[in-house]
Homo-oligomer: A and B are copies of this chain.
Amino acid sequence: MIYFLSDYSQGAHPKVMEALLKTNMEHSGGYGLDEHCAHAAEMIKDMIGLDDCQVYMMVGGTPCNVTIMAASLRPYESAVALRTGHAYFHETGAVEATGHRIAAVDGVNGKMTPELIDKAWEEYEDEHTPLPKMVYISQPTECGSIYSKAELTAIRNKCRERNMLLYVDGARLGAALTAEDNDLSIGELAQLCDAFYIGATKNGALFGEALVVCNGGMNDHFRFMIKRQCGLLAKGRLIGVQFEALLEGGENCIYFEMAAHANKMAQMIRDELTRIGVRFYSASQTNQVFPMLPVSVVEELEKEFVFYRWAPEKNGMIPIRLVTAWATEKKDVEYLVRKIGQLYQK
């Protein structure tokens, strides 16, 4: 079987494994207080060109989302997210478990907009309603599209107007940064939001994300909060070591190389399927592709490929999700599109 199931179904890039092996017998302080984490944090600050931010090495995306919200929101404050947003849709109410509402709004083409933020405020009146204080978005979005600099700036301006914090879930940030038509550098992203994370679980690490808190006011006793929310890893240096390996070499680092490769593989799928007339469930610019295919084609494909059916069948068509990753091989993509081509045009 050939896998287009997810970008976290395999292990880590060989260079990451190599770094883990090489440092395996070092002694170091626990819980992220070690030289590798400190060094990785410096590399990240250099990369984004911000000195007065804090970088925390986190175990996963849910701990990032939950900890930043629990740490930044007063008890009566809520966050606004898309209904499809990961923190709302796919984390079993982990944010609510800390006592905060996530107010869900329906996206416009899968994206947050200033108008949607205004709409969320319709649920606010006074002390009888939660106070919206944070906007949560993902870059790229859950359906693979990316926010342009103009779009993110507009959201940021609305946040300032509303006195809200802006937090960006970057589980697949590499894919956004290396997307062909991306015009938003990581430095600009850092300038525009209050906090974001650089995801590595879905881009070549065993696990780990680097949470960057740009807004100093959000850093209060943050390590207490990570521990309280179950997110502090004993051997925290493992995350630092991985980020060192991922970011080594600056612009030529494997973090960008892997993401660019995944994007390129996805683009090949999009180009080929578009050429033969396939339509897409949602527009993506990164490493996820959502073609709508006839039921019979999907069933045939499932004999050789592994992927998710993304939504129920409608009018004989099923949207599927194909995800490419750093390790996706070109020959497998070629075989996939050839196969779809044959089946589709029958």
The interface residues of chain B lying within 8 Å CB-to-CB of A78 are 93, 96
The interface residues of chain B lying within 8 Å CB-to-CB of A127 are 31, 92, 221, 223-224, 226-227, 232
Q: Please give me the residue from chain B that is nearest to A229 by CB atom.
A: B230
A273-300: contact bitstring with B at CB < 8 Å (1 yes, 0 no)?
0000000000000000000000000000
Q: Give the Cβ gap from A239 to chain B, nearest Cβ, in Å.
A: 10
Q: Give the Cβ gap from A138 to chain B, nearest Cβ, in Å.
A: 15
**Any chain B CB within 8 A of the CB of A29?**
yes
Among candidates B17, B89, B93, residue contacting A76 with C-beta atoms closer than 8 Å: B93
Complex Cα–Cα for A99 and B31 (A)? 23
B100 touches A230 (CB 8 A): no
Complex Cα–Cα for A317 and B14 (A)? 50
A91-113: contact bitstring with B at CB < 8 Å (1 yes, 0 no)?
11110111111101000000000
Q: How many of chain A's residues have a CB under 8 angstroms from any CB in B? A: 78
A60 touches B207 (CB 8 A): no
**Any chain B CB within 8 A of the CB of A130?**
yes
The interface residues of chain B lying within 8 Å CB-to-CB of A306 are 27
**Any chain B CB within 8 A of the CB of A218?**
no
Number of copies of this protein chain within its complex: 4
B6 touches A24 (CB 8 A): no
A129 touches B25 (CB 8 A): no
The interface residues of chain B lying within 8 Å CB-to-CB of A17 are 20-21, 24
4 residue pairs, one from A and one from B, having the closest CB atoms: A11-B24, A76-B224, A127-B223, A93-B130
In the complex, 17 of the A-B residue pairs with CB atoms within 8 angstroms, ordered by the A residue number, are A9-B28, A10-B26, A11-B235, A27-B306, A61-B234, A74-B221, A75-B97, A78-B93, A92-B129, A92-B130, A92-B228, A94-B227, A94-B228, A96-B96, A97-B99, A98-B99, A131-B221
- New A-B contacts (17) at CB < 8 Å, excluding given A6-B30, A9-B27, A75-B97: A8-B30, A8-B235, A9-B30, A10-B24, A10-B26, A11-B235, A21-B21, A60-B233, A74-B221, A83-B123, A93-B228, A96-B99, A99-B99, A101-B102, A131-B221, A207-B233, A207-B235
